Chain A
């Protein structure tokens, strides 16, 4: 039975207007197989999957399931054919319980009217047990963590007897531990015979979960490899179509003068931090010009909060001493941070980085408005010059007046960088600077980081991708539950070490906190 594929897509093509986005793509998938689908943004991964999920019913080529040709005309038809699509953004009702979400729209009823909560809870518990998910059916979905919500979404899909599960970058919002848990779930489902298509940007994940990798580039399938032992460089070459010899370039630290000193920084967020008084406590470090300091730690360890506190944007009360170029500064708002020479490229471009309704020019000019105006009246010419200069300097593929909503993730991220550079910051804070952008853009961002550091900026970077931290940073400060546990130098770097210092219970297991010595 393993010989005949569960799903086969032949000669799939799709055009928007006259622009072809997919050309003659073949894809086969067997029951119990995990297929990783890789490719840069715009390579056609999402389009291919939206065809399979019947979000685009109109396409060339043929789809067969169990050797039966199927016409997937609507998402509903796809669901009936056993195809479930788990989108990057979860589609759950936060106010309902786990069981309520899983059975939404098909709740068991009593007397045809009243929801049979008891039966729904029982059915849900049985389902979760079968899948091996440790979730409480009665818990409100809004109170769950993102990783758990993802499990709810998966359970919901599988409760509809899905045989083919499409997961679109499922780990983009997950912590390391949640990611590990998800990998186990994916492997478990595959063992139960579910076929899984797993879209991802992250090389590590391919090696961890997939049986096979398929790479798309410019709308065409450019390669298929067995995941085990697939050479990393070969995958990158397939994805971006050229060899990137020094993708993980190591950064040399030039000796620069002391730029920022942070002593005993703390943050209190009433109602946020449960079980401990302070979200951040006792954080001290210093950073020199040209240095890239990484902040490691698990999700919820206070990494983002540390950056937000330094930027004056954290909710709650905070304290500690910050000196820039030797002078003490008080930072109570982003405006004060900007004046002190601190810039933040935040984690969520859409929420905190960009005004999506506006053009590239207006976004780039936002932090530097007063400098572009005379007595409050804007010089349009200066604004456009600034936008054009930023486009040139950062290699953004866009027009100065183009709406930022139409840009790819990588280009959007460059716009966020671009809007801060004209403020001539001394310290650049980066929160997950390469999240959700493709390999090519990632390499460009790393290149930019190296240039900025070389130009004398002090860079503080938060990342949940360990390879990124290890390859880009000069030192790594590890946080655990808001407390610093280690400050590692480059010669002490290793993934195991960072993880060990970041994980709860490490100290109890024999590790020591002595490693941490504020410099």
Chain B
């Protein structure tokens, strides 16, 4: 103890730069974003009336709108990467979600989308009410038969309600509830294979990515040139609300993104589920050996990633007015990049949703300023690649290339 105070007494000034350095190191993620933002303001074109275009409310809210799909997918990806996994199938799941959503919105009667979505939704409600919620609220296994009965009742109600929407077309609430469940099912299937068959998540989700792309095309129909198009008038007008700008500033997809950030941030930090996620990524074996149902947590995490991807599909339909099987091509890589830039360890166990938010925004602002400067899209890709490497090197806290091993 005396040596500590001795050291502090001996070097009272040298400690300060060190302390500042440490604070800078801990907050480097935010400094990266702030630096990029500053540069963007500086290089932004200025309109003839002297307005900095990058800083206009319209542009800022447009960035939020543009990043929200990637952001929602990246939130789910953060969970998957935190448990030491990876999910390559989110792009295809988002595409499937967009197709199912557009079809439910625009087609009456039993379309392929309805055949896929309605049974899954019924099964989901049954499992939730009959099994998962009782576990979550800590009900003992003894209460099971009652829970299952309640679940069956709820599932019947849910199915009746969804089928009831078919003669007309699905409403906003309908697609917002049903489509994510389709994604949840696909994600949970990923999780079951990864957890139970102990296969590499990379391989499992790669296979799922290919398989779901095919499924999306099959659901969309044999004529691959005509995708279910949502024109803005051939469905419930309420769906337009997903395109709204609240108070002319906050785009609704951005609202979903921010809500997901807050929700899953709280989930990770404040709940037992969140603790298990970090513990599994930190040491899966030790977590299993602590008597924790590791497989269940994994299945839930992949399920969440799938549900969020499908939700992104719904928002995609609202923004681009169509659902198509190639809607989410490449989005898994953008999401992974954002997660990694956000400081989440690819080996799992370390990272945060807030980090991912910053990663997504770094990507968003970068793309935006390059677009404002009219830099061609191929150059943008090259720059994106460079940014990923540089950002991750900064995250690691060193520039090893410059140092000898």
Residues of A within 8 A of B (CB): 17-20, 311, 313, 333-335, 337-339, 344, 346, 351-358, 362, 365-367, 369-370, 372-373, 375-378, 419, 423
Q: Could you tell me if A367 and B290 are in contact, using CB atoms closer than 8 angstroms?
A: yes
Q: Could you tell me if A352 and B285 are in contact, using CB atoms closer than 8 angstroms?
A: yes
A354–B136 Cα distance when bound, in Å, is 25
Q: Could you tell me if B275 and A362 are in contact, using CB atoms closer than 8 angstroms?
A: yes
- Residues in B261-319 with C-beta less than 8 Å from chain A: 270-276, 278-279, 281-283, 285-293
Q: Could you tell me if A351 and B3 are in contact, using CB atoms closer than 8 angstroms?
A: no
Most B C-beta atoms less than 10 A away, residue of A17, A335, A354: A335
Q: Which residue of B lies closest to A420 (CB)?
A: B290
- 9 A–B contacts from the bound complex (CB under 8 Å): A337-B291, A351-B285, A353-B289, A355-B349, A357-B283, A362-B279, A366-B290, A366-B292, A375-B136
Q: Could you tell me if A18 and B6 are in contact, using CB atoms closer than 8 angstroms?
A: yes
Q: Could you tell me if A335 and B292 are in contact, using CB atoms closer than 8 angstroms?
A: yes
Shortest Cβ-Cβ A-B pairs, 3 listed: A338-B291, A355-B282, A18-B7
- The smallest beta-carbon distance between B285 and chain A, in angstroms, is 5
Q: Could you tell me if B289 and A375 are in contact, using CB atoms closer than 8 angstroms?
A: no
Q: Could you tell me if B286 and A353 are in contact, using CB atoms closer than 8 angstroms?
A: yes
- The smallest beta-carbon distance between B190 and chain A, in angstroms, is 21
Known contacts A335-B291, A355-B278, A366-B279, then 9 further A-B pairs from the complex at CB < 8 Å, ordered by chain A residue: A334-B290, A344-B289, A353-B289, A355-B283, A358-B279, A366-B286, A366-B287, A375-B137, A378-B271
Q: Which residues of B sit under 8 angstroms from A362, Cβ to Cβ?
A: 275, 278-279
- Contact residue among A335, A357, A369, A423 (Cβ-Cβ distance under 8 Å from B272): A369
Whether, in the assembled complex, B350 has its beta carbon less than 8 Å from a beta carbon of chain A, the answer is yes
Q: Which residues of A sit under 8 angstroms from B225, Cβ to Cβ?
A: none
Whether, in the assembled complex, B378 has its beta carbon less than 8 Å from a beta carbon of chain A, the answer is no
Q: Could you tell me if A354 and B283 are in contact, using CB atoms closer than 8 angstroms?
A: yes
Q: Which residue of B lies closest to A366 (CB)?
A: B290
- Contact residue among B3, B275, B350 (Cβ-Cβ distance under 8 Å from A20): B3
- The smallest beta-carbon distance between A416 and chain B, in angstroms, is 9
Residues of B within 8 A of A (CB): 3-4, 6-7, 10, 136-138, 270-276, 278-279, 281-283, 285-293, 349-350
Q: Which residues of B sit under 8 angstroms from A372, Cβ to Cβ?
A: 272
Also in contact, A366 and B285, with CB within 8 A (given A334-B291, A337-B291, A378-B270):
no
For the residues of B in contact with A, the DSSP-based class is: helix
Q: Could you tell me if A334 and B289 are in contact, using CB atoms closer than 8 angstroms?
A: yes
A375–B10 Cα distance when bound, in Å, is 52
Most A C-beta atoms less than 10 A away, residue of B137, B288, B289, B349: B289
- The smallest beta-carbon distance between B316 and chain A, in angstroms, is 31
Q: Which residues of B sit under 8 angstroms from A378, Cβ to Cβ?
A: 270-272, 274-275
A366–B3 Cα distance when bound, in Å, is 36
Q: Which residues of B sit under 8 angstroms from A313, Cβ to Cβ?
A: 288-289
Q: Which residue of A lies closest to B288 (CB)?
A: A334
Also in contact, A375 and B283, with CB within 8 A (given A313-B289, A366-B275):
no
- Contact residue among B273, B285, B291 (Cβ-Cβ distance under 8 Å from A376): B273
- The smallest beta-carbon distance between B257 and chain A, in angstroms, is 23
Q: Which residues of A sit under 8 angstroms from B274, Cβ to Cβ?
A: 378
Q: Could you tell me if B349 and A19 are in contact, using CB atoms closer than 8 angstroms?
A: no
A433–B44 Cα distance when bound, in Å, is 64
Q: Which residues of A sit under 8 angstroms from B292, Cβ to Cβ?
A: 334-335, 366-367, 369
A231–B311 Cα distance when bound, in Å, is 73
A362–B272 Cα distance when bound, in Å, is 11
A352–B290 Cα distance when bound, in Å, is 9
Q: Could you tell me if B350 and A373 are in contact, using CB atoms closer than 8 angstroms?
A: no
A344–B289 Cα distance when bound, in Å, is 8
- The smallest beta-carbon distance between A13 and chain B, in angstroms, is 14
Q: Which residues of B sit under 8 angstroms from A423, Cβ to Cβ?
A: 291
Q: Which residues of A sit under 8 angstroms from B286, Cβ to Cβ?
A: 351-355, 366
- The smallest beta-carbon distance between A494 and chain B, in angstroms, is 34
- The smallest beta-carbon distance between A116 and chain B, in angstroms, is 29
A419–B286 Cα distance when bound, in Å, is 12
Q: Which residue of B lies closest to A358 (CB)?
A: B282
- The smallest beta-carbon distance between A415 and chain B, in angstroms, is 11
Q: Could you tell me if A376 and B136 are in contact, using CB atoms closer than 8 angstroms?
A: yes
- The smallest beta-carbon distance between A364 and chain B, in angstroms, is 10
Q: Could you tell me if A356 and B271 are in contact, using CB atoms closer than 8 angstroms?
A: no
Most A C-beta atoms less than 10 A away, residue of B4, B10, B292: B292
Q: Which residue of B lies closest to A419 (CB)?
A: B290
A334–B3 Cα distance when bound, in Å, is 45
Q: Which residue of B lies closest to A340 (CB)?
A: B291
- The smallest beta-carbon distance between A321 and chain B, in angstroms, is 21
Most B C-beta atoms less than 10 A away, residue of A351, A352, A365, A366: A366
A346–B138 Cα distance when bound, in Å, is 28
- The smallest beta-carbon distance between B17 and chain A, in angstroms, is 16
Q: Which residues of A sit under 8 angstroms from B285, Cβ to Cβ?
A: 351-352
- The smallest beta-carbon distance between A351 and chain B, in angstroms, is 6
Q: Could you tell me if B271 and A351 are in contact, using CB atoms closer than 8 angstroms?
A: no
A489–B10 Cα distance when bound, in Å, is 62
Q: Which residues of B sit under 8 angstroms from A369, Cβ to Cβ?
A: 272, 275-276, 292
Q: Which residues of A sit under 8 angstroms from B270, Cβ to Cβ?
A: 377-378
A367–B292 Cα distance when bound, in Å, is 7
- The smallest beta-carbon distance between A171 and chain B, in angstroms, is 25
- The smallest beta-carbon distance between A355 and chain B, in angstroms, is 4
Q: Which residues of B sit under 8 angstroms from A373, Cβ to Cβ?
A: 271-272
Q: Which residues of A sit under 8 angstroms from B272, Cβ to Cβ?
A: 369-370, 372-373, 376, 378
- The smallest beta-carbon distance between A381 and chain B, in angstroms, is 13
A375–B135 Cα distance when bound, in Å, is 10
- Contact residue among B271, B291, B349, B350 (Cβ-Cβ distance under 8 Å from A367): B291
- The smallest beta-carbon distance between A20 and chain B, in angstroms, is 7
A314–B274 Cα distance when bound, in Å, is 27
